[in-house]
Amino acid sequence: MKLIRNVLLVIADQWRGDSIACWGHPDVKTPHLDAFAAEAMSFQRHHAQAAPCGPSRASLLTGLYLMNHRQVSNETPLPASIPTLAHLVSDSGRSPVLFGYTDTPNDPDKRTQLQPWVCPGFETRTGFFYHDGFGAWRDWLQENGVEIELGDDPESIFLPKGGYDPAAPDAPCQYPAEFSDTAFMFGAARDYISEMGDQPWFVNLNCLRPHPPMVAPEPYNQLLDPANLSIPARHQSPTQVADSHPFLAASLSAYGAKRYFRHDLAPDEVTDIHDRTMRAAYYGNMAEVDDKFGALIAELKANGQYDDTLIIFTSDHADQLGDNWIYGRRGPFPGLFHVPLMIRDPRHPVSHGTQSSEFTETIDVLPTIADAIGQPTPQCDGHSLSGFLQGNPPANWREHTVWEADFRELRLNLDLAHLLPEQVDDCCFSALMSRDWLYIHFPAQPALLYDLNADPHCQCNLAEDPVHAADLATCAQALLSHRIKHTPKQLSDYWLPYATSGKAQKIWNTGGDAC
């Protein structure tokens, strides 16, 4: 089969998987992604394997579960011994070019490049980093005569002039949309693609939005009327959530109101008005990303590269956004891990405009790209989605999805004395979700179990209900089996077949059932 010429991998930040208009969201405006979905394949049960950004991106860039790549937080280095998407792309003869960031610190035992927050192997064309106060973007603003008020916090660059004003909850960012970080990043990628001409290219484009702070540039700040927006189904008060489990209580305490609302609010002070106003900004930032994505697609069509390019749109992870009264990147629920995935492979028009309701995972992105560019897939936990794109879905696909989180770093900024006062290594969880159940396992705390058919918003924990003891045991067994099956494979990169002449054969993929 003809190999793909170019690859465009667009990764948004904290984009919820339910927030695509054509997939049924009642509020968000995404006309360009809707149009792209009509020409691509939509994977509607796609989930990230970890949170926050660094661990999730490490799974996407290595095809490994968190338990195997071991980058457990944003500041944990990715081991240099693990092959990445960048190495795979480089082996194909393309430059693995990055726009933005990966939140993947270099292994201190083997520094292979200068950028401390870029996955090893990538060539950073235009960086976008918290640690330097978004220096490349600030320089661009200065070159264009855009004056910005900056505070001590790098995120102050996104705030309205003078900071938050409770009397003006829809105040825009202090820069116009044409000079936003989204415009900057998409513009840089567009310029690079233009420079490449007829040469094959690979672009990993990362945009920060709709990541908080929840402020949108004009005119996106007033695109939606907050009064008309829906809010999540949830308990009447956050106290009910906090009382149901120690980790949920800790997640509520860590929600970071200043990133979501115009002034610091305790969880029990958040009203429907606050929530709707915050969502208007979140959806406004999505609308801007949608516009810029649409413009880049139009450019590819105009220059004749659209039908030579594998295009992938996804997100690193999502956002609780008030589900169960939790905001941001904390909590164990699907709202944080369900992310969009659209793939357009021009070689397979049979999949264009189609949808899959099978469980797919972030770890499947690397092997899918490997197939498209004709490279062997390194040993990993993911499986190529090429069969879906070719109209030939695999017969024995996975029946569940899993995700993990390691929240030991919360001990640095959150009082967890009531949770795990002495056993900080117990501060983690693993979750397994099937079509019927969500099961969440904690090493030293009670499990959580939700019936997704009767309780899709995960409000009634059944883990201690004797009636569901068998369901709990079945889910626990499935999660244990999954972890055992995916523990690091004790294999060399070379395999010596039994009863052969002794010639070692190179292997890159251990195969096995797609689960």
Write the pLDDT tens digit of every residue in 353-362.
999 999 999 9
What is the per-residue pLDDT for 76?
Answer: 82
121 CB neighbour count, 10 Å cutoff: 20
What is the per-residue pLDDT for 1?
Answer: 82
For 26-35, 146-155, 183-192, 354-363, which range has the lowest pLDDT when averaged over its residues? 146-155
Question: Distance between CA 87 and CA 105 in Å, rounded?
Answer: 16
What is the per-residue pLDDT for 492?
Answer: 46
Q: Which amino acid is at 299?
A: E
384's tokens? 């190529």
Question: Distance between CA 317 and CA 60 in Å, rounded?
Answer: 10
Write the pLDDT tens digit of every residue in 440-499.
999 989 999 999 999 999 999 999 999 999 999 999 999 999 999 998 765 444 444 444
**Stretch 385-397: mean pLDDT, rounded?**
96
What is the per-residue pLDDT for 505?
Answer: 47
C-beta separation of 134 from 181 below 8 A: yes
Q: Is residue 506 part of a domain?
A: no
- Provide the domain limits for residue 374: 6-221+238-259+267-402
369's tokens? 């790209």
Rounded to 10°, the helix 365-373/53-62 angle is: 30
Model confidence at 366: pLDDT above 60: yes
Catalytically active residues, by annotation: 53
Question: Distance between CA 60 and CA 500 in Å, rounded?
Answer: 37
Nearest-5° Cα angle at 299, 298 to 302: 85
Question: Distance between CA 455 and CA 123 in Å, rounded?
Answer: 46
Question: Distance between CA 283 and CA 233 in Å, rounded?
Answer: 18
- Strands in 448-451's sheet, in edge-to-edge order, are 401-406, 428-433, 437-441, 448-451
For residue 116, the domain's CATH number is: 3.40.720.10
What is the per-residue pLDDT for 115?
Answer: 61
For 21-30, 53-62, 136-145, 246-255, which range has the lowest pLDDT when averaged over its residues? 246-255
What is the per-residue pLDDT for 506?
Answer: 44
Write the pLDDT tens digit of every residue in 321-348.
999 999 998 899 999 999 999 999 999 9
What is the per-residue pLDDT for 110?
Answer: 66
Q: Is 418 helix (H, G, I), strand (E, B) or coil?
A: coil
Q: Is residue 82 part of a domain?
A: yes
Can you tell me which residue has the tokens 């096995």?
Answer: 512
Residues 6 or more apart in contact with residue 125 via CB below 8 angstroms: 97, 98, 99, 188, 192
Write the pLDDT tens digit of every residue in 284-316.
999 999 999 999 999 999 999 999 999 999 999
Q: Is residue 515 part of a domain?
A: no
What is the per-residue pLDDT for 120?
Answer: 85
DSSP label of 312: E
**Stretch 276-289: mean pLDDT, rounded?**
97
Q: Is residue 19 part of a domain?
A: yes
Q: Is residue 184 part of a domain?
A: yes
306 CB neighbour count, 10 Å cutoff: 18
197's tokens? 């001409």
Residues 6 or more apart in contact with residue 13 via CB below 8 angstroms: 53, 206, 207, 208, 209, 210, 211, 315, 316
Q: Is residue 207 part of a domain?
A: yes
For 86-90, 336-340, 458-462, 505-509, which range has the lowest pLDDT when averaged over its residues? 505-509
Q: What percent of the chain has pLDDT over 90?
A: 72
Q: Output helix, strand, coil percentages for the chain, rounded to the nearest 5.
A: 35, 15, 50
Question: Distance between CA 372 and CA 382 in Å, rounded?
Answer: 15
Q: How confident is the model at residue 88 (pLDDT cuts 50, 70, 90)?
A: very high
Quote the number of domains for the chain. Answer: 1
What is the per-residue pLDDT for 446?
Answer: 94
Top pLDDT among 98 and 407 is at: 98
What is the per-residue pLDDT for 166?
Answer: 81
Q: How confident is the model at residue 116 (pLDDT cuts 50, 70, 90)?
A: low
| Alpha carbon distances (Å) from 5 to 2, 25, 213, 296 | 9, 34, 37, 17
Q: Is residue 51 part of a domain?
A: yes
Residues 6 or more apart in contact with residue 178 via CB below 8 angstroms: none
C-beta separation of 72 from 66 below 8 A: yes
Q: Is 406 helix (H, G, I), strand (E, B) or coil?
A: strand
Model confidence at 415: pLDDT above 50: no
Q: Is 490 helix (H, G, I), strand (E, B) or coil?
A: coil
Model confidence at 164: pLDDT above 90: no
Write the pLDDT tens digit of every residue in 40-82.
999 999 999 999 999 999 999 999 999 999 898 887 888 888 9
Q: Is residue 422 part of a domain?
A: no
Q: Before 332, cis peptide (omega within 30)?
A: no
200 CB neighbour count, 10 Å cutoff: 17
DSSP label of 94: S
Single pTM value for the model: 0.93
User: Which among 119, 98, 140 is positioned nearest to 9, based on CA atoms?
Assistant: 98
Question: Distance between CA 402 and CA 404 in Å, rounded?
Answer: 7
Write the pLDDT tens digit of every residue in 184-240.
999 999 999 999 999 999 999 999 999 999 999 999 999 999 999 999 888 989 999
